[in-house]
Amino acid sequence: MRYTFLFLLLISFFACKQEKANTSHTDAEADSFEAFYNKFHSDSLYQMEHIVFPLSGLPTEVDSVTLASGNFKWQKENWRMHKDLGSNPEFQQEFTALTPDLVIERLTHKKMGNVGIIRRFAKVGGEWNLIYYAGLNFFEAK
């Protein structure tokens, strides 16, 4: 039952079209990231050009064997386009800028608390790119 709920939740993530995300960035780099983020979710070709494949991360509902191996990679051939999920009322979106060139996004389910998605974006060659994606999984609270 739990896995069915998570699977349906994931499908609703990708099926919903979302509005512009709110970020707390205020400098020129943040504006650049915000413009990138919006275009990343609205233009499928742009999205594919701004992902570093093979992409590090974790599959949705990762199993212990895959997690322990530590070598899972998302491949271009089986990539599913991402939509902006920031305004989904069931999730809380949080951006953390670790440096001017590295931003972490966490989408956490409001009711379950420790279920969510994590993505990392970084400037590579002067342009923003998705460098890490952990699909919908349970994770430790911060």
pLDDT in tens, 38-66: 999 999 999 999 999 999 999 998 888 88
Q: What confidence score (pLDDT) does residue 96 get?
A: 97
> What's the token pair of residue 87?
């305004």
In angstroms, the CA 42 to CA 49 distance is 13
CATH architecture of 2-18+29-138: Roll (3.10)
* Residues 55 and 67: beta-carbon distance below 8 Å: no
**Residue 90 confidence (pLDDT) above 60:** yes
Nearest residue to 128 via CA among 48, 47, 74, 50:
50
Continuous segment of H or E residues that includes residue 34: helix 28-42
* Residues 36 and 25: beta-carbon distance below 8 Å: no
Residue owning tokens 């504006």:
31
pTM beyond 0.95: no
Break the chain into its structural domains and give their ranges. Answer: 2-18+29-138
* Residues 35 and 21: beta-carbon distance below 8 Å: no
**Residue 139 confidence (pLDDT) above 90:** no
**99-110 average pLDDT score:** 95
